[in-house]
Amino acid sequence: MKRDTTVSQARELDEQDTLKKLRAEFYLQPDVIYMDGNSLGLLSKRAEQSLLSLLDSWKKHGIDGWMKGEQPWFYFSDRLSEMCAPLVGADKKEVMITGSTTSNLHQLVASFYHPKGARTKILADELNFPSDIYAISSQLSLHGYDPKEHMVLVKSNDGNTLNEADIIEAMKEDVALIVLPSVLYRSGQILNIKELTEAAHERNILIGFDLCHSIGSVPHELSDWDVDFAFWCNYKHLNGGPGAVGGLYVNQKHFGQKPGLAGWFGSDKEKQFDLSIQMTPASNAGAYQIGTPNILSAAPLYGSLEIFAEAGIDAIREKSLKLTDYMTLLIEEELSDYQFAIASPMEHERRGGHIYLVHEEAARICKALKEHQVIPDFRSPNGIRLAPVALYNSFLDVWKTVQILKKIMKEESYKKYENKREVIA
């Protein structure tokens, strides 16, 4: 990319953008630049319509909506799973749209953590999103183990990234299970899932990944990489709406194993309404469902996944990298006088869908950006995440964001704010 910081270069890049027509699919507020799609994606018109369609089926059919209407509710999770499977590189039988990130993690740890003999520990990392650590800790406690002793946290050398060699070195003979992020939520670093999975399996350890910050932004090949399990939310890059139903993946080599947490929607669908007190689990990833699907929380995802099928994850990734490359260029050229440090990896194969800026005044700067109608994301203690999303952000959005940031720093307008986070950051 040319080191051109002019607005005409931004407009030229937008003209060349093969996904630019999809911007019109989303509800973008006038004069607002949304750079927080890695926390909550924007509403699309198709997601809105699929939600209204499911509401209409309830209005028209009542309880018969389970088997009637354009999208019968009884099979709706299966339909969404089929649509989502290409985004994680899996067979449709290996994916299930269900639960939430943390409830799915509980289910998967309960299903695949089998401490035996000296193998009692769960390996994770100190940079993972805290909810994952909380869930792993509680699962260890339920087995009677002290998390302080039985959860191994791989350390970061710089506070922002992890070294795969350090993770592999921590795969000792006392480790029974590994749970890692695919993309680190702060720095956006992509871990080498294939390398880590191979290393774990060489040591007879099962391994799973949290895809919350990669799904919808980065292509995956979970089945080809032989990953044992994965889980994710659908409200970030997948634009499924606040609190949208989550998703999970289970490698088909594990089919037939009883889920750790059983519930009636994990039943074989042909037998579920026999209402037998003896459960017959589904023969695919559906076995890992627990309760009745949250239909209205899953409904927007249908419309959103239609857009992903149309765009293609490879084209989305290509544009995402161009956007973050362009943002990096502008930050280096325009903000060099203002003590920002880019903590995201620069290599394409190691960088996810956002840029992580570190600055001692980060909390104040984020508040000033919001005053100027740019929506960033603050991460304690001193990080600013900026996520130009391929489906609805433009190169002009990126150019304007950096120019506004430069203006804020030059005028020191951030100093009127207190340098601490809000209740929700």
Q: Mark the binding-site residues for pyridoxal 5'-phosphate, compressed into ranges.
A: 101-102, 129-132, 210, 213, 235, 264, 292
Please tell me what DSSP assigns to residue 155: P
R_g of the chain computed on alpha carbons: 22
Phi, psi of 34 (to 5 degrees): -95, 115
Task: Give, in order, the Cα–Cα distances in Å from 325 to each of 187, 217, 331, 354.
Answer: 15, 15, 10, 10
Both tokens of 86, joined, read: 């290409």
| Tokens 């805290």, located at residue | 130
Q: What token pair was written down for 66?
A: 């389970």
Distances (CA, A) of 138 to 121, 133, 326: 13, 9, 42
Binding residues: 101-102, 129-132, 210, 213, 235, 264, 292
Contact call for residues 80 and 87 (beta carbons, < 8 A): no
Cα 89 to its chain centre, rounded Å, is 15
**CB atoms closer than 10 angstroms to residue 143:** 15
For residue 314, give the H/E element and its range: helix 313-334
Terminal CA-CA length for the chain: 33
Give the whole-angstrom CA distance, residue 313 versus residue 220.
Answer: 9
In total, the chain counts a number of residues equal to: 425
Beta bridge partners of 123: 152, 178
List, in sequence order, the alpha helices (H) in 123-253. Answer: 130-142, 147-150, 164-169, 193-202, 222-225
DSSP codes, 346-397:
-SGGGB-S-EEEE-TTHHHHHHHHHHTTEE-EEETTTEEEEB--TTT--HHH
Secondary structure (3-state) at 225 = helix
- For residue 196, count other CB atoms closer than 10 A to its CB: 21
